[in-house]
Amino acid sequence: MPAVRLKPVSDQVIVVTGASSGIGLATCEAAAQAGAKVVMTARNREALADAQARLTASGAMVEIVVADIADPDATDRIAAAAIARFGRIDTWVNNAAAAPVGRVVDTPIDDQRRVFDVGYWGTVRGSVTALAHLKDHGGAIINVGSIESDRAVILQATYSAMKHAVKGFTDAFRTEVEADGLPVSVTLIRPAAIHTPFPEHARNFTGHPITLPPVIYDPRLVARAIVFAAANPRRGLSIGGTGVLGTALAQHFPRLTDLMLERFGEALQTFDKAPPADRADNLWEPRTDAVDSRQDAYVRTHSVWLEAQLRPWLAVGLTGAAAVAGLAVARIAGRKRSVGN
């Protein structure tokens, strides 16, 4: 295992793709608040400029790069802009993604290919470009996968397949980096359902308004995990205990999971009414961006599972406390049985 060299976040230059909305925008905000110099890249020039103005007003140093990550030369242009402005790169976050929602037979192949051009090939190119700049002085490459990296979901076949590919690439890429003894950490982030503009941005082939299945988590939790991984080597981090439980169920009981998705999967992702008149998505063109979805939903702002990963000593302590409590209950029960006899 190589000696990974990561700086404190406050001393870092962090590149974030897909930075104009959702997890990407939340990550830029969290990194800037922690004192990092941030390079934000996405297609939406107006959203990037607004974010830059807002973060700069709070004292942050921010560079923006308007680019479609699916373009073959995009990552080289992004890296060149980062070097020109800040002189180096310390962490590269591959977050950009796009998605259709609907049955495979209803989803054009060109749209499916676009999902891979953005989410998979953008991640591959970003990782290779980042490694060229990090291999000598160290740093972190952080790829945003999904709970769907482990279990495909009905109506999201293309997105699930892309996230499976991101996981497969990240795991193999990590072993190559480690085998070469490079001081670079490679982390896979696996969020559950997150309250981003995914329902507004996904191309909808269902004939109904789409939503995310509960439980839904705050994008800022994912941003916290990403910023943590920028300074602390981790193989992977998952956000949302319900998603982790769901994938564990799928691994041990795959056929039962199939049947559950067949019975409830579509209903949990759609509303039973006509789709809205404004059905614009961002698969091919940028749209209105924000950190959070406009949909009204209960959003969890804490994840015990994430905290346990960020602070393993807390997880050990909680496990120990639970064990002690269990022994105490068993002893009390044993005494009551003795008295009863």
- Residue 1, in any domain of the structure: no
- Range list of β-strands (E), the chain: 13-17, 37-42, 62-66, 91-94, 100-101, 139-144, 184-191, 203-204, 216-217, 236-239, 299-300
Active-site residue numbers? 159
pTM (whole model) above 0.85: yes
The DSSP letter of residue 111 is: H
Q: Binning pLDDT at 50, 70 and 90, where does residue 173 land?
A: very high
pLDDT in tens, 52-68: 999 999 999 999 999 99
- Residue 325, in any domain of the structure: no
First to last CA, the chain: 59
Mean of pLDDT over the chain: 90
- Residue 79, in any domain of the structure: yes
From the DSSP assignment, how many helices (H) and strands (E) are in the chain?
Answer: 12, 11
Is residue 262 predicted with pLDDT exceeding 60?
yes
Q: What pLDDT was estimated at residue 336?
A: 47
140's CB contacts (< 8 A; 6+ apart) are 6, 90, 91, 92, 134, 184, 185, 186, 187, 229, 230, 231, 233
pLDDT in tens, 179-227: 999 999 999 999 999 999 999 999 999 999 999 888 999 999 999 999 9
DSSP annotation string for 249-295: HHHH-HHHHHHHIIIIITTTTB-SSPPPS----SSSS-----SS-SS
SS3 label, residue 173: helix
Q: How many domains does one find in the chain?
A: 1
Give the integer Cα–Cα distance in Å for 291 and 27: 10
- Residue 139, in any domain of the structure: yes
Distance of CA 119 to the CA centre of its chain: 11
Q: What pLDDT was estimated at residue 104?
A: 97
Q: What average pLDDT score do residues 272-281 get?
A: 62
Give the integer Cα–Cα distance in Å for 31 and 259: 41
Give the integer Cα–Cα distance in Å for 221 and 306: 8
Structure tokens that stand for 147 in this block:
């709970």
Q: What pLDDT was estimated at residue 247?
A: 83
Residue 259 domain boundaries:
9-310
Q: Binning pLDDT at 50, 70 and 90, where does residue 335 land?
A: low
Q: Which residue has the higher pLDDT, 180 or 268?
A: 180
305's CB contacts (< 8 A; 6+ apart) are 238, 239, 240, 241, 244
Is residue 2 predicted with pLDDT exceeding 90?
no
Q: What pLDDT was estimated at residue 317?
A: 57
SS3 label, residue 195: coil
Q: What is the CATH number of the domain that holds 51?
A: 3.40.50.720
SS3 label, residue 143: strand
> Of 169-173, 215-219, 241-245, which range is least confident?
241-245
pLDDT in tens, 94-108: 999 999 999 999 999
- Residue 317, in any domain of the structure: no
316's CB contacts (< 8 A; 6+ apart) are none
Query: What strands lie across the sheet with 13-17, from one edge to the other?
Result: 62-66, 37-42, 13-17, 91-94, 139-144, 184-191, 236-239
Q: How many CB atoms lie within 10 A of CB 150?
A: 20
SS3 label, residue 59: coil
- Residue 111, in any domain of the structure: yes
Percent pLDDT > 90 in the chain is 69
36's CB contacts (< 8 A; 6+ apart) are 9, 10, 12, 13, 14, 91, 227, 230
Q: What average pLDDT score do residues 6-23 get?
A: 98
- Residue 238, in any domain of the structure: yes
CA dihedral 38, 41, 46, 47 (to 10 degrees): -70
Q: What pLDDT was estimated at residue 213?
A: 87
Per the DSSP assignment, residues forming a β-bridge with 190 are 238
Q: Provide the phi-psi class of 100: left if phi over 0, else alpha when psi is between -120 and 50, else beta.
A: beta
Percent pLDDT > 70 in the chain is 89
Give the integer Cα–Cα distance in Å for 301 and 289: 21
- Residue 147, in any domain of the structure: yes
